[in-house]
């Protein structure tokens, strides 16, 4: 089986003046389809840079990265954009919903760039919102009228609406209280189990990380541990 993510000696250097910093330093990593992995590590450990590379938002200085078997290092900017549109879904800490734009329209946004017709956009956006547990009363609400948990559900619906192979979540519960965090994590788990959705998530919180199957720890740009989560049966 082709891994969803396969990196070999992936390196990202940042040069400021004469100082060269290896934010990601020869990382070799693989994520299989259907896996749900959490990346942990202190600030500056390189986990965000790694996520940016995986998300095709940034280019590696050296090393290889294949997304679902496709080597992305040779792709043009437009091809990377197409990859993000078709294969990836992003969830952010600050939700990044368009302000003064309804939940439905926010979810429709990726489909606008994927040239989906307006009628189909509306249908799929509605279904995606229902799938993530946002009831129809809130579909026409603007982000500021929704709670943090509801906003993050809209963001998750937006990430999933183009049926990506991989969902990338950067501190998805960072702005939420613990009860809401647990709800969002249960949603992640459900999506992972029911749809076999591959998820890579960055988090600070061990409680959150423990919802995943696998915890990868970063330190100084390298992976220092990579262990499966032994879960008590009560989690879901």
Partner 1 sequence: MNLQSAVGVALRALLLNRERSLLTVLGIIIGVAAVIVTVAIGAGARASIESTIGSLGSNLVVILPGSTATGGVNVGIGSASTLTVGDGLAIAQQVRHAAAVTPLVVLRTQPISQYSNWQTSVAGVSPAWPFVRSWAVGSGSFFNDTDVDTSAKVCVIGTTVQTQLFPNDEDPVGQMVEINNVPFRIVGVLTSHGHSMIGTDQDDVIVIPYSSLLQRLSTSANGPDIVGALAVSVDASQNVTRTISAISQLLRTRHRIVPPHSDDFQVRDLADIARAASAAGVMLQILLASIATVSLIVGGIGIMNIMLVSVTERTREIGLRMAVGAPAQAILLQFLVESVVLSVVGGGIGIVVGVIASGIAAHFGHFPFTVSIPTVFLALLFSAAIGIGFGFYPARKAAHLDPIVALHAE
Inter-axis angle of helices 148-160 and 118-131, nearest 10: 130
* Euclidean distance between the first and the last CA atom of the chain, given in angstroms as a whole number: 28
In 3D, which of 194, 125, 120 has the Cα closest to residue 158?
A: 125
To partner 1, the closest distance from the beta carbon of 50 in angstroms equals 12
For position 232 contacting partner 1 by CB under 8 A, the verdict is no
For position 102 contacting partner 1 by CB under 8 A, the verdict is no
β 5-16/88-91 pair status: unpaired
Any idea of the CA torsion for 10, 81, 194, 230, to the nearest 10 degrees?
Answer: 20
Residues 49-88 that bind partner 1 (CB under 8 A): 52, 55, 57-58, 77-78, 81-86, 88
Q: Which of 100, 135, 144, 234 binds partner 1 (CB under 8 A)?
A: 100
Nearer to partner 1, 58 or 183 (CB): 58
Residues 175-204 that bind partner 1 (CB under 8 A): none
3-state secondary structure of 72: helix
CA 113 – CA 81 distance, rounded (Å) = 10
Q: Which of 73, 113, 136, 226 binds partner 1 (CB under 8 A)?
A: 113
Q: Taking the CB of residue 179, how many other CB atoms lie within 10 A of it?
A: 8
Q: Which of 36, 41, 158, 199 binds partner 1 (CB under 8 A)?
A: 158
**Of the listed pieces 91-99, 129-137, 176-184, 219-227, which binds partner 1 according to CB under 8 A?**
91-99
To partner 1, the closest distance from the beta carbon of 83 in angstroms equals 8
Residue with tokens 């613990």: 178
Q: Applying CB under 8 A, which residues contact partner 1?
A: 52, 55, 57-58, 77-78, 81-86, 88, 90, 92, 96, 98, 100, 109-110, 112-115, 118, 158, 162
């Amino acid at each position: 089986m082709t891994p969803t993510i396969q990196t070999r000696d992936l390196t990202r250097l940042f040069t400021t003046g004469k100082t060269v910093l290896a934010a990601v330093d020869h990382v070799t990593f693989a994520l299989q389809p259907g896996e749900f992995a959490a990346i942990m590590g202190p600030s500056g450990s390189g986990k965000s840079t790694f996520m940016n590379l995986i998300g095709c938002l940034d280019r590696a200085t050296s090393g290889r990265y294949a997304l679902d078997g496709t080597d992305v290092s040779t792709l043009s900017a437009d091809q990377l954009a197409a990859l993000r549109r078709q294969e990836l879904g992003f969830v952010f800490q600050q939700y990044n919903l368009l302000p003064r734009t309804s939940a439905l329209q926010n979810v429709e946004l990726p489909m606008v760039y994927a040239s989906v017709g307006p009628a189909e956009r509306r249908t799929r956006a509605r279904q995606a919102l229902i799938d993530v547990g946002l009831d129809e009363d809130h579909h026409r609400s603007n982000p500021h009228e929704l709670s943090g948990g509801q906003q993050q559900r809209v963001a998750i619906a937006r990430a999933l609406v183009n049926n990506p192979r991989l969902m990338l979540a950067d501190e998805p519960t960072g702005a939420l209280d613990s009860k809401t965090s647990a709800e969002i994590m249960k949603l992640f788990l459900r999506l992972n189990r029911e749809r076999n959705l591959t998820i890579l998530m960055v988090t600070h919180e061990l409680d959150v990380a423990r919802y995943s199957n696998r915890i990868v720890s970063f330190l100084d740009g390298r992976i220092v541990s990579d262990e499966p989560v032994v879960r008590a049966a009560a989690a879901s």
